[in-house]
Structure formats: C-alpha cells, structure tokens
Amino acid sequence: MILKAIIAVALITGANVASAQQQLNNQSILKMHDAGLGDDLIIAAINAQAGAYTTNTDDLIALKKAGVDDKIITAMVTKGSAVALPPSVLAGPSENPPVAEPVGKPRVFLTSASKGTNAAAARDQSMEMSKDFEQFCPEVRITLNQQAADYTVSLNHIEIGLFIRDNQFQIADHNGDLISHTKEGGSIAGGIKKACGALMANWQTAHPSPPSAPAGVAPPPVVAPSQVPPPPGI
C-alpha cells in the first residue's frame, strides 16, 4: 500500500512536468488500474493531469471489460468532453474592433411556367433565364436549392404562333414577399435585366456596405538635410 501511494503521489505532483511531455490516455488508465492503484487515486490523477482520452462506444466497452470502475470512466469522459476556450477568448477583447466581412452574392432560385400553341412553348424556360442572368446579371449566383435562395424569380411565358410572346415576371425575397410589381411584356432577356435591377437594389438596401475606414493622418513632410537648421551654438 505504501508503494502504491508513493506511485500515485508521484503521478499527481509530477503532472505539470509530465503533461508537457506526455498526456494521460486510455492506455495510461489501464496501466494504473492493472498496477492495483485505487479508484480515488486514479481519478485524482485524471483531474490533475492533462489527458487525451478516446471515449467512443468501443473504447468504453473495452474499459469496462478490463474491470475499470464506472467512476473512473466517468472522470475520463468528463475530462475529455471539456471544451477549451479559444486563445482569442482567453486574451480578452481586442483593442481593434472587428472588420465587417464583405457580403457575398445573393443567391437566386428560378422557376418558370410556359404555355402556348407552339412546340417550343413546352421548353423549360428556366434554362433561358439562367443563361440571361449569367450574361446580364453576374452580380448574382444562381442556385438550384430554393431553401438556400435569397430571392426567387418566377416567369410565366406565353408563346402563340410565330410572333405572339408574353413574359410575366415576379421577384420575391426569401420570405416569399414580392419586392416589386409584376412585370409584363418584352423578351425574357429584358425581363431578366429588370429583375436584376430590382433584386440588387433590394439586396443593397438589406446589406449595406460597411463604412469606409477614416483616412489616416498624412505623415509629416520629409525635410532635406540641407534644410534642417543647425542646432544653437554652431
């Protein structure tokens, strides 16, 4: 018993020195348990010394099969689940305020409905819309995930005969609220240009650019050596 106590005290008191070289782990706990150290002494070592424990299901079962007490396993899980604070939190608030991150491109989801007497009217016009957005509105990003979209642009396309074309556009924000009146008439490309202007104006209103940093003080002018007055007495 005296030898066991000496070993446990050495483990605990030398924790600060040993932790810089080696951390306790599952194998360390098994070695102390196999050496016959008491549960309280092993738990004290766990609490006093840094450790890197793996506590997934298989590891916990292996510890239990090896005869490790539940109290020791609980101490290992608690120690391993402790969340270390990041250095920025430990260092305290910064003297310089954080700089606002630039806002990315708005994501736009496209929908279309097409009807008419021509065979071409059956085409998916969202493909044409996507092509026109890429050409006339590169400030946005087209997405196929409506849940991730900031805006939805809907097209109702009518095509009858060789010359009758009608295109109705609606632009809604991520809440489904229209941000402009329904636009009717003109080509799909023309409607895309108008939709681009409407949604970008709304985007800039909702996400204003951060104010520019104040201009720094201009450095003092450099004086040429010949212009520097001599010190008094010379």
Q: Check the CA dihedral 51-52-58-62 and report its sign.
A: negative
Q: What are phi and psi of 149, to 5 degrees?
A: -80, 145
Q: Is the pLDDT of residue 107 over 90?
A: yes
CA dist., res. 53 & res. 73, Å (int): 10
Q: Rounded CA gap, 54 and 219, in Å?
A: 57
Q: Is 126 exposed, middle or buried (0-12, 13-18, 19+ CB in 10 A)?
A: buried
Mean pLDDT, rounded, of the chain: 77
Q: Residue 21 to residues 3, 18, 42, 221, 228: CA-CA distances in angstroms?
A: 24, 5, 19, 55, 60
Residue-wise pLDDT tens digits, 139-175? 999 999 989 999 999 988 887 766 677 888 999 999 9
Give the pLDDT confidence of 11-51 residue by residue, as tens digits.
Answer: 555 544 444 456 888 898 888 889 888 888 888 888 888 88
Whole-angstrom distance, CA of residue 202 vs CA of residue 140: 13
Q: What is the pLDDT of residues 166-212, one digit of tens each?
A: 888 999 999 989 988 777 778 888 889 999 999 999 999 988 876 65
Domains and their CATH numbers in the chain: 2-81 (no CATH), 107-206 (3.30.160)
Supply the pTM of this predicted model: 0.46
